[in-house]
A and B are shown apart, each in its own frame.
Chain A
Amino acid sequence: MNVLEIKKVSKYYGQFNALSDVSFNISQGDFVGLLGVNGAGKTTLISSIAGINSFTGQIKVMGHDVITDVVRAKRNLGVVPQELAYDPFLTVYQTLKFQAGLYGVRHDKKWLDEVIEGMHLTDKIDTNTRGLSGGMKRRLMVAQALVHRPPVIILDEPTAGVDVEIRKSLWKFIKTLHNAGHTILLTTHYLEEVEQVCNKIVMIDKGRILAQSSTADLMKQAHDLPTTVRIETMGGNFAPGLKDKVLNQDGNVFTLRLNNSDELLLILNTLKQANVNFGDININRPSLEDVFINCLHHGIGSGS
């Protein structure tokens, strides 16, 4: 079943085309990474799904149109907006109780406590939101999106401004939610984590869909990208025999194509014979980040 259907969604801000004919579906249980550079249209798309943007086209959440059946669509949706927002008149607990009320759920203390604990806010429940750090405010916003146990959860950069330790536990909590049956769509700039947890990836650029596929298929493209070795020499001439392997040179840092592991030995030997002294050496396996950058520059499906 499609829990989220996005059909031919376009959005203009005056002359600026923020979204252009965006279509994709998300199935029950998907964990989707929505990737794009800043200004690609991710937040505009999320705002459209959340019902705070006008747009042309159609969006359905659990089968409910976000324009014509807005109340039911919104009930099935929990959105964490990107911009930090908080009500300075309320404490953490009051914020969550109020949020539950807005969604028409009588407050379920057990679930609230679970969410508060998951967001590491237990010792802050009676603190006024003004007294929270940026990372705590972000976690409170995640908690707010969860109070009504929505089947579909959308997180717009949930880990922005959150320290490493909390970021890890936040991902863990999001994974727990996914395991509990929630469908998740998120944007983030931490592609390593996307590669690990998302089963589907949608890439957008300049308001258009650049790629949408399973993470596994996209990572197959990564296998087509070359593994590289990055060698920092101590200066002097580089081995002439390796010239055709060099993909990139930045000062005395050389990036070489590495077709297989045997080649590494060959490269090192060649360097030794040419009397090139080197300091640092790094092997780089192509990651989602490389696929993403490759897609941005060359379009989907192209090799290097």
Chain B
Amino acid sequence: MLPFIELVKKEIYRFMSIWVQTIFGPVTTAVLYQLIFGEKLSLISTGIPGVAYATFLIPGLIMMQVLLNAFGNGSSSLIQSKYTGNIIFILMAPISPLAIYMAFLVSSIVRGIVVGVAVTIGIAAFGIALPKAIFALLYFLIFGAAITGGLGLIAGILSEKFDQLAGFQSFVIVPLIYLAGIFFNPHSFSGIWQVLAMLDPFLYIVDGFRYGFIAHADYNIGFGAFFVGVCAISVNLVGYWLIKRGIRIKK
């Protein structure tokens, strides 16, 4: 258990030691989004009684940064470790692949949560609702971070160069996040985009997380929780399998 705890501690220390980039950066981005969209579009009706556009938007902006940062944590940590070669010290240590995987996953989820809290504090002044369904909020926060955390680990394991990682982020993570109904309810998408949006697990994460704040969901919250849970487990089983097989890590 000690090696697992040490690895989690070191991974958390890693992102905390560069907090300007890892925590303050996302807060700044979220506040800018809020200034541009939240303020300028504040007259738009959300269609939800008693919920102003800012109140609708803020949970989405928080979750956006949670998802991006949980992804960024494992992926950049792994690729940097491969680049500087220090991953060898973890591979040579008496730690099971499961403990290695879980340590990286847990620290990615922690990064997501820390960033989420920081963004919430930074953006709260614009009109955040007090959480109405705390259990749903925590469930979608943790499982959402677990999905992108796991995707980040997979990307970090498979990438050999930084540009491959950037590609994974640009072509997989960012589209999934933009289709997730952060700014508008995706009912307003048409045709194929709506179908794609409906298959996007991030849609249910954002919807469920927003439900935690305003107690209103656009989709069935039970189905969303189930779908998100299944995605989180599947993604992380793939990630664990890659670590266990040592693909692109061991020779």
Question: Interface residues, chain A, CB within 8 Å of chain B?
Answer: 13, 47, 50-54, 70-75, 77, 79, 81, 83-90, 98-99, 101-104, 106, 144
Contacts and interface: CB of A to CB of B under 8 A. Distances in A.
Given A85-B85, A87-B84, A89-B13, A50 B2 contact: no
22 contacts: A50-B91, A50-B92, A51-B91, A51-B92, A52-B88, A52-B91, A52-B92, A52-B250, A54-B246, A71-B95, A72-B94, A74-B94, A83-B88, A86-B85, A88-B80, A89-B17, A101-B2, A101-B3, A101-B9, A102-B89, A102-B94, A103-B93
B215 interface: no
B128 to A, nearest CB: 33
A144 B93 CA distance: 11
B90 interface: yes
A83 B2 contact: no
Nearest to A78: B92
A54 B90 CA distance: 16
B58 to A, nearest CB: 32
A54 B5 contact: no
Interface of B: 2-3, 5-7, 9-10, 13-14, 17-18, 80-81, 84-86, 88-96, 246, 250-251
Given A53-B251, A89-B14, A104-B2, A99 B85 contact: no
A144 B85 CA distance: 14
A81 B88 contact: yes
A72 B95 CA distance: 10
A86 B3 contact: no
A85 B246 contact: no
Contacts of A50: 91-92
A54 B250 CA distance: 8
A102 B84 contact: no
A85 B89 contact: yes
Contact of A103 (B3, B17, B80, B86): B3
B119 to A, nearest CB: 23
Contacts of A75: 94
Contacts of B2: 101, 104, 106
Contacts of A86: 84-86
A91 B246 CA distance: 28
A289 B54 CA distance: 77
B94 A99 contact: no
Contact of B3 (A53, A79, A102, A144): A102
Contact of A85 (B5, B86, B93, B94): B86
Q: Please give me the 3 A-B residue pairs with the lowest Cβ-Cβ distance, nearest first.
A: A101-B6, A85-B85, A74-B94
Given A52-B250, A52-B251, A101-B6, A85 B84 contact: yes
A89 B96 CA distance: 24
A108 to B, nearest CB: 13
Contacts of A13: 251
A102 B7 CA distance: 7
Contacts of A72: 94
Contacts of A53: 250-251
Contact of B95 (A81, A98, A102): A102
A21 to B, nearest CB: 19
Contacts of B86: 85-87
A106 B2 CA distance: 9
Contacts of B10: 90, 98, 101
B59 to A, nearest CB: 32
Contacts of A51: 91-92
Given A51-B92, A53-B251, A101-B3, 15 more contacts: A50-B91, A52-B92, A52-B251, A70-B94, A71-B94, A75-B94, A85-B84, A85-B85, A88-B84, A89-B17, A102-B7, A102-B90, A102-B94, A104-B94, A106-B2
Contacts of B89: 85, 87, 99, 102, 144
Given A52-B250, A83-B85, A103 B94 contact: yes
Contacts of B90: 102
A74 B97 CA distance: 13
Contact of A74 (B6, B93, B246, B250): B93
A125 B13 CA distance: 18
Contacts of A99: 89, 93
A85 B88 contact: yes
B74 to A, nearest CB: 15
A79 B96 CA distance: 18
